Amino acid sequence: MYHSKINGLGYYVPENVVTNDDLSKIMDTSDEWIQERTGIKERRHIIRGQDTTTSMGVKAAKIAIERSGLTTDEIDFIVFATISPDYYFPGPGVALQQELGLRTVGALDIRNQCSGFIYALSVADQFIKTGMYKNVLVVASELQSIGLDMTNRGRSVSVIFGDGAGAVVLSREEDITKGILSTHLHSEGEHAKELAVLAPGMGGRWVTDIIAENNPDDESYYPYMNGQFVFKNAVVRFSEVINEGLKANNLEVSDIDMLIPHQANLRISQFIQQRFKLSDDQVFNNIQKYGNTTAASIPIALTEAWEQGRIKEGDTIVLAAFGSGFTWASAIIKW
Ligand code: ACO
């Protein structure tokens, strides 16, 4: 039995900064409304033709691989989480495999929305624990901006989301007191339609901006979110799954050196911080700069926290996510 540890990590966000004031020029919204409810000041949107879900994932992955000190020949498997794939099929895992020249290693696509990265990390962890693979590349990338309804109709959803990617290399760790200690995954399909893109249904086509343009009156091509219902469920499930992870490892809240919550909404993170009585040093948020990048938000935040020296060897790190599905998950890591 082995453990797995994060051996390299990286992120990429497009250069194009879209502020709240920029959005208020194309829809009836304001910097004040957005900041008060979500904490978001700005987000990144791709420039069309410059980036795709795959290309952002590749850029983040290259940094993670370089920092791991491994060569691409040593990567045994790819797990790619996204809700915004470049094609309906195949998923972006294979495109990343080709772009990075990763021989013919397997590529698994995960679609668990905002919980996608923790689900992907958990899958990779199981492959390493069983001894099947030694080094697994875990990537999460989201290109939200071209699929959002940038009119007044979609404003309560569109102001929240941003584009970006994060990646980690997960490697075998012989010391079982280190690395990923446990992961906890959940879902509740009963609430699937509270945060979803419902089109296209059976026999339909994949949603792209072109389809949306051709169906301007059909709201089902754009994300729908029952915001207050999502908020209420998020704070309950975040709390539960953090407690579940702590309990499974006989840890107390005071043992948490750093909580990295999925960057859904700053108000949700602050609520969790207060509920667990965590200090500002114990929670990392960067939604103010990037908006909600769905599956990519945790690896982007994890990488930034690490780059800022806020994660040190021996720290107990808690990752926690909640999102569409509903799905929610946590990971407890000894760094
Ligand atoms: N700018 C200005 N006004 C707006 C905007 C906007 N962007 N969007 C909606 N409004 C208006 C509405 O039309 C409404 O006006 P009315 O009162 O005249 O009808 C008013 O603001 C209030 O609208 P609500 O939808 O009730 O706004 P609410 O206060 O619930 O805030 C929000 C919306 C921020 C989404 C909130 O429900 C929330 O934080 N939900 C949590 C869900 C979340 O954060 N999801 C993140 C993504 S999902 C995930 O990652 C898990």
What is the rounded distance in angstroms from the CA atom of residue 332 to the CA atom of residue 301? 16
What is the rounded distance in angstroms from the CA atom of residue 320 to the CA atom of residue 203? 35
Looking at residue 209, what is its pLDDT? 64
Looking at residue 205, what is its pLDDT? 44
The 3-state DSSP class for residue 315 equals coil
Residue-level pLDDT, tens digit, the chain, 335 residues: 899 999 999 999 999 999 999 999 999 999 999 999 999 999 999 998 899 999 999 999 999 999 999 999 999 999 999 999 988 778 999 999 999 999 999 999 999 999 999 999 999 999 999 999 999 999 999 999 988 999 999 999 999 999 999 999 999 999 999 999 999 999 999 999 999 887 765 444 455 666 777 777 878 778 889 999 999 999 999 999 999 999 999 999 999 999 999 999 999 999 999 999 999 999 999 999 999 999 999 999 999 999 999 999 999 999 999 999 999 999 999 99
**Sequence-distant (≥ 6) Cβ neighbours of residue 254 within 8 angstroms:** none
Q: From the CB of residue 203, how many other CB atoms can be counted at a distance below 10 Å?
A: 5
Looking at residue 203, what is its pLDDT? 43
Among 45, 112, 262, 286, the one annotated catalytic:
262
180-334 maps to CATH 1.10.287.1040: no
Task: Give me the DSSP letters along 258-285.
Answer: EEEE--S-HHHHHHHHHHTT--GGGB--
Looking at residue 221, what is its pLDDT? 77
Which CATH superfamily, name and number, covers 3-176? Thiolase/Chalcone synthase (3.40.47.10)
Distances (CA, A) of 331 to 5, 214, 218, 285: 12, 42, 38, 17
Looking at residue 1, what is its pLDDT? 85
Find out whether the beta carbon of 81 lies less than 6 Å from any atom of ligand 1: no
Read off the pTM.
0.90
Please tell me the total number of residues recorded for the chain in this structure. Answer: 335
Q: Which of 21, 26, 38, 156 to mutate to test the pocket of ligand 1 (most atoms within 8 A of CB)?
A: 156
Place of tokens 């500002």: 280
Q: Which of 147, 65, 116 is nearest to 264 (CA)?
A: 116
Residue bearing the CA closest to ligand 1, atom 9: 156
Same fold: 3-176 with 180-334: yes
The 3-state DSSP class for residue 13 equals coil
Looking at residue 202, what is its pLDDT? 44
Among 7, 20, 114, 135, the one annotated catalytic:
114
Find out whether the beta carbon of 159 lies less than 6 Å from any atom of ligand 1: yes
Output the CA 156–ligand 1 centroid distance in Å.
5
Output the CA 254–ligand 1 centroid distance in Å.
33
Domain boundaries of the chain, sorted by first residue: 3-176, 180-334
